[in-house]
Amino acid sequence: MVLDIPDPSSSASGNVSKYFDIIYEQIAFTVTAVLFQEQVLANFVETECDALGSLKDSCISKGESFSSFALQALEVSSIAPAMKSLYEAIKASDMAYITIHNLPLEIQLPPYLDNLLHSEVENEVDITRNSDNDDIETWDHDMGFGWKLPPLVPWKSLLLLDGHNGLDPSMNLRGSQVNPEDRTLVEGLIRFLETASVTLSLADMASLLDWDLQSQVLPTVRWLVQHRRAKVVDIVHVGLKTVFTLPAKFECPILELTAEFERQFNHPSVPSLPVILANISSSISKQSDNHFFASVVQDKDLIPMYHDIVLWMLKRDMLITLHLRIRIVATRKVKLHVLIERQNALARKAGARERFRKRVTLELRDSTDDEDIDLSPSGTTWLQLSPKAAHRHSRRQSIESGQEKMARPVVESNEAGDAEKRATDEDETDELDDHDSGWDTTEDHLRPSMISDPGRATPLQRRWLAAMSDGKDPHIAKRFQLYVHASRIAIQRAEVDLE
């Protein structure tokens, strides 16, 4: 491979080494490994070089041009078509479908790899990372650089692509050419492709297919995206009540896009592409009815056609979905409610503990001598222990004494069982004093504060979140809990549909 050295004056020239590393890993190493294998097995490379060398000598002797030699080389050598396809794919940042000695290969460079060499404002985002959070870097290692991939999370959706980058609808996946051992995988892929829709989340697809999200759905999505047969997008509302905006620039000139749009959507009820773009752009300033249906469609009978239009635009990166951003604030009222509940629980616990100690004291006085209740064999004052600790201490002493029975039992068997039940019942209230309860943190105040990451809320914050649902309609409370769980990664990414 022959590569031109990037402009050394680029402020991002420090990424040149990484740039070449990716080219080596993704293309040079793969192709060289296949060529080396075929040379060892069948002397393939030497045979191809001899054929190209003979053709070169023939063209030189005849005075033919290099372009003539290149055209003839495509006919006499299988390496030449592979080199041509690979060269064109690299220039176009596309997939290279090549064949080397009857071995089909799909090779590509990351679509945004060239951004490593530029320092324009729009490329200042670190494209070497998949997301802002390491916990959701669920893409393959090879897709970690130059892909600009959104987070692969359950509430995202999948858009299947078409054309040479997509799945060939005429491909007979159920045909006899499929190996029996691969038939199960193929059938599963067909079911997934038939189910996938931008109106369904990845979690919805997993539920409909009865697949595991992590081990089945996400690997399939990764494979489709890596082979440029699909892209991860936001869910599109079934009734097109999704709010869109436009990107800063389009990948193709607007005149070219308009001409293509008119060829594909020539229905009299569909306006031109510039009119649709203008309506989308102006809808953002509206306080209500700013979604796609209200601003563009306005007719329920046209929803199926406009679904195709939205898909067409999404495939060309012409739409950006605007998300609902949820900020959860624990108000003074909520915090005061939680604080009062805790104080009431503490009062109930203190009363229960006092009643327990009084009962045990009376039972001990009725059943034992004073010297028997003064100290336990370990020297621990029995009545100084909490019910929970006394219960544990009693069990430990029983284990140490084996099957030996006490000479004078503290209480009768039925009373001992009642005392143990009471002590056990109070184990739950003792949790209020545990350090992990959250009350020993700096959050213990009554000032309103935002819960920035509800998916990872502290124990005290979880009490505030639970208190927000008290007295609410069960349906509303359930949906609120769903939103809270959807923010496990970050609340800013909780894209929810209120329709």
Structure tokens belonging to residue 42: 């069948």
Which stretch of DSSP H or E encloses residue 398? helix 387-400
pLDDT at 124 over 50: no
The predicted-structure confidence for 277-312, as pLDDT tens digits, reads as follows 999 999 988 878 889 999 999 999 999 999 999 999
DSSP state of 240: S
The mean pLDDT value of the chain amounts to 78
pLDDT at site 439 = 62
User: What pLDDT is recorded for position 53?
Assistant: 95
Q: Which residue has the higher pLDDT, 417 or 298?
A: 298
Stronger pLDDT, 413 or 481, i.e. the higher one: 481
Residue bearing the bigger pLDDT, 224 or 326: 224
198-to-157, 230, 240, 243 alpha-carbon distances in Å = 5, 11, 11, 15
pLDDT grade, residue 489 (50/70/90)? very low
Length of the chain: 499
Higher pLDDT among residues 228 and 424, named by residue: 228
Percent of the chain at pLDDT > 70 equals: 71
Range 209-222 average pLDDT: 92
Residue 424: pLDDT above 80?
A: no
Model confidence band, residue 491 (pLDDT cutoffs 50, 70, 90) = very low
Q: Average pLDDT in the 219-228 region? A: 91
pLDDT at 80 exceeding the cut of 80: yes
Half-sphere exposure of residue 448: CA atoms within 13 angstroms, side-chain side: 6
Task: Out of 8-22, 42-56, 58-72, 245-259, pick the least confident.
Answer: 8-22
Q: Which residue has the higher pLDDT, 399 or 256?
A: 256
In this predicted structure, the answer to whether residue 436 has a pLDDT above a threshold of 70 is no
For the segment 341-364, the average pLDDT, to the nearest whole number, is 79
Ramachandran bin of 101, using left for φ above 0, alpha for ψ from -120 to 50, beta for the remaining angles = left
| Residue in this structure with the two tokens 């249906």, named with its chain if needed | 293
Range with the largest mean pLDDT of 27-41, 166-180, 338-352, 391-405: 27-41
Q: How far apart are CA 481 and CA 164, in angstroms?
A: 43
C-alpha distances (whole Å) from 248 to each of 120, 124, 251, 319, 320 are 14, 15, 10, 10, 10
Over 90: is that where the pLDDT of 270 sits?
yes
| For residue 430, pLDDT beyond 90 | no
Q: Summarize pLDDT for 128-181 with one digit per residue, the tens.
A: 444 444 444 568 777 777 888 888 888 899 999 975 444 544 445 555 455 776
pLDDT given for residue 153 in this prediction: 87
Q: Is the pLDDT of residue 85 over 90?
A: yes
Going by pLDDT thresholds of 50, 70 and 90, the confidence category of residue 34 is very high
Q: How many other β-carbons are positioned within 10 Å of the β-carbon of residue 381?
A: 10
75 pLDDT more than 80: yes
Query: How sure is the predictor about 457, in pLDDT bands with cuts at 50, 70 and 90?
Result: confident
435 or 227: whose pLDDT is higher? 227
Average pLDDT for residues 400-415, to the nearest whole number?
44
Percent of the chain exceeding pLDDT 90 equals 38
Stretch 39-59: mean pLDDT, rounded?
Answer: 95
Q: Higher confidence at residue 361 or residue 491?
A: 361
- What are the boundaries of each domain within the chain? 13-121, 244-321, 333-436, 439-493
Sequence-separated (6 or more) residues with CB below 8 Å from residue 271: none
Question: What's the confidence (pLDDT) of residue 119?
Answer: 54
Contacts for 121 with CB less than 8 Å, ≥ 6 apart: none
Identify the three-state secondary structure at position 409: coil
The answer on pLDDT for 393 being more than 80 is: no
Residue 366 in this model has a pLDDT that exceeds 80: no
